[in-house]
Amino acid sequence: MFTPKYPPRDTAPPVTATPYVIPTAVQPSAPASIAPAASNRPTVQLTPGSALALAAGGGAVVLVVGAVLVSLMLAVAITGVSVALVAVVLRLLIKDLHNHR
């Protein structure tokens, strides 16, 4: 079920390396029409239902990732405020210890 399914290998002949020759004069020619290559690979066709499911799935992923990121930022903010509050209390306690001596 989880094994990948690879498309069949192309049947084109292997390309051999040819030495590069610098042309001395390039003459303009008429553009050749290029025929699309026939492919044995299946094409993906989206129906309206599958497109809607894909959009809903993408939206759900965005919402979940956003909720996780917001909760992480909130945790960092709460930790920062609590550390600042502890620092102020410790500073006041140390100051009070030095004043009463």
Domain ranges of the chain: 67-101
Residue 7 contacts residue 41 (beta carbons within 8 Å)? yes
| pLDDT single digits (tens) 6-42 | 777 777 666 776 766 666 666 666 666 666 666 677 7
Residue 40 contacts residue 8 (beta carbons within 8 Å)? yes
pTM (global) more than 0.75: no
Give residues with Cβ within 8 angstroms of 41, minimum separation 6. Answer: 7
| pLDDT single digits (tens) 46-88 | 888 888 999 999 999 999 999 999 999 999 999 999 999 999 9
Q: Please return the burial class of 98, using the count of CB atoms within 10 Å of its CB with bins 0-12, 13-18 and 19+.
A: exposed
CA-wise closest residue to 48 among 40, 56, 38: 56
